[in-house]
């Protein structure tokens, strides 16, 4: 039997949506679905945590997919999807932008105070026949809807726990746990606490196959076979650092002591002053260097920019090390529409006769 502590019940009272909030988001979702269905070209479907009843109070995101016939050309789908998305956003007075990624372009709009994604996809018969990266999402929604019954609150705890620990999000900057992954893990272990208890003993290469596909092999730090697509690892986004250095340690800490609310709502960290930062660096005895610059328009999509930043940072680090400098660690981030390359160096100065780097003048076009 899956029992919860008083702390976990108290957390749930904070993160579980109240009925008024549920009614509000459902009304907007139904309005958007009706608009898609009335278009006559696509069939609407609400996907994501709202559809699965696993969204945290305060979240204002609604994902509406516009399903098109599988025999429609990609060009027609993209064109009609953008036109329909614009029309719906304009109809309800929402400010909107068009976004482009590896899947068909879509419209992101603010409607009635909600952040709405209007995404075109193909209404394929099964996930094995997907034609775009988002075609399997409806299958994810249907799978969770049919299996999650009674475990919705446990998913809320897992999501809040992951967010507080800094491991929630499958974007390239976070390299953590997607919402769908959290749901599947809760399903696998039958609740939040059994999941956390199991997580403390995970090792790199941990493999979970809920539907027992026993198909394709993966070499990622965490492997969770997608129950609707055996050729996909749902946990492919989870980095080794986020798994072993963060999530597993969080699980161990949570299980080692009485449940603490700080694991769900960590106390705010005070801002560090420049003087205090300088003192920390002095105590460490390392050199901290950063390069900051804005991304070059129109290439400002994090999923495109972040991999380039990491390759660039690794290249600079390699160049420095080949020339005698010693690097403790390095990283790259994109935040507030600026890019940062960060280096912590154990050796950041060499005798003049030892320096072999030759810097060529940079000629700007």
Across the range 70-87, mean pLDDT stands at 95
* 274-354: in CATH 3.30.1490.20: no
The structure tokens 């979702």 sit at 29
Q: What is the mean pLDDT of the chain?
A: 91
In whole angstroms, give the CA distance from residue 148 to residue 140: 12
Q: Cβ(111)–Cβ(29) under 8 Å?
A: no
pTM to 2 decimals? 0.86
Given this model, what pLDDT does residue 364 score? Answer: 44
Q: Cβ(100)–Cβ(301) under 8 Å?
A: yes
Given this model, what pLDDT does residue 258 score? Answer: 86
Residue range 157-207, pLDDT digits in tens: 999 999 999 999 998 889 999 999 999 999 999 999 999 999 999 999 999
**Widest CA span in the chain:** 75
**Which CATH number is 17-134's, of 3.30.420.40, 3.60.21.10, 3.40.50.2300, 3.30.460.10?**
3.30.460.10
In whole angstroms, give the CA distance from residue 16 to residue 22: 10
> In the chain, where are the structural domains located?
17-134, 148-263, 274-354
* 148-263: in CATH 1.10.1410.30: yes
In whole angstroms, give the CA distance from residue 167 to residue 175: 7
Tokens of 23: 């009614």
Q: Classify 109 in phi/psi space as left (phi over 0), alpha (psi -120 to 50) or beta.
A: beta
In whole angstroms, give the CA distance from residue 13 to residue 24: 19
Q: Cβ(65)–Cβ(44) under 8 Å?
A: yes
Residue range 290-327, pLDDT digits in tens: 999 988 765 567 777 888 899 999 999 999 999 899 99
Strand partners, 111: 114
Percent of the chain with pLDDT over 90: 76
Strand partners, 43: 67
Given this model, what pLDDT does residue 129 score? Answer: 87
In 3D space, the residue among 129, 126, 155, 152 whose CA is nearest the CA of residue 139 turns out to be 126
3-class SS of residue 292? strand
């Amino acid at each position: 039997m899956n029992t919860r502590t008083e702390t976990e019940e108290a957390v749930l009272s904070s993160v579980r949506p109240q009925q008024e909030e549920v009614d509000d988001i459902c009304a907007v979702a139904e309005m958007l679905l009706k608009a898609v269905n009335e278009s006559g070209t696509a069939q609407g479907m609400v996907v994501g945590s709202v559809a699965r009843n696993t969204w945290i109070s305060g979240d204002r995101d609604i994902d509406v997919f516009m399903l098109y016939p599988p025999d429609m050309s990609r060009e027609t789908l993209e064109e009609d999807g953008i036109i329909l998305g614009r029309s719906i956003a304009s109809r309800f007075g929402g400010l909107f932008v068009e976004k482009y990624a590896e899947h068909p372009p879509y419209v992101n709009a603010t409607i009635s105070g909600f952040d709405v994604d209007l995404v075109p996809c193909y209404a394929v018969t099964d996930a094995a026949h997907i034609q775009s990266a988002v075609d399997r999402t409806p299958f994810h929604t249907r799978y969770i809807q049919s299996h999650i019954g009674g475990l919705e609150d446990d998913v809320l705890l897992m999501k809040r726990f992951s967010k507080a620990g800094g491991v929630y999000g499958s974007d390239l900057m976070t390299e953590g746990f997607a919402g769908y992954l959290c749901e599947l893990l809760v399903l696998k272990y039958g609740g939040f606490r059994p999941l956390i208890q199991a997580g403390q003993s995970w090792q790199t290469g941990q493999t979970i196959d809920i539907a027992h596909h026993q198909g394709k092999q993966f070499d990622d730090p965490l492997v969770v076979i997608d129950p609707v697509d055996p050729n996909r690892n749902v946990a492919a986004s989870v980095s080794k650092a986020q798994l072993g250095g963060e999530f597993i340690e969080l699980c161990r800490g949570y299980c080692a002591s009485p449940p603490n609310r700080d694991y769900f709502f960590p106390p705010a960290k005070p801002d560090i002053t420049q003087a205090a930062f300088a003192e920390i660096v002095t105590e460490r005895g390392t050199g901290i260097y950063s390069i900051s610059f804005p991304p070059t328009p129109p290439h400002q999509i994090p999923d495109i920019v972040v991999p380039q930043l990491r390759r660039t940072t690794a290249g600079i680090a390699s160049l420095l090390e080949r020339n005698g400098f010693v690097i403790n660690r390095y990283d790259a981030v994109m935040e507030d529409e600026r890019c940062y390359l960060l280096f912590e160096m154990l050796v950041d100065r060499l005798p003049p006769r030892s320096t072999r780097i030759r810097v060529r003048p940079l000629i700007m076009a």
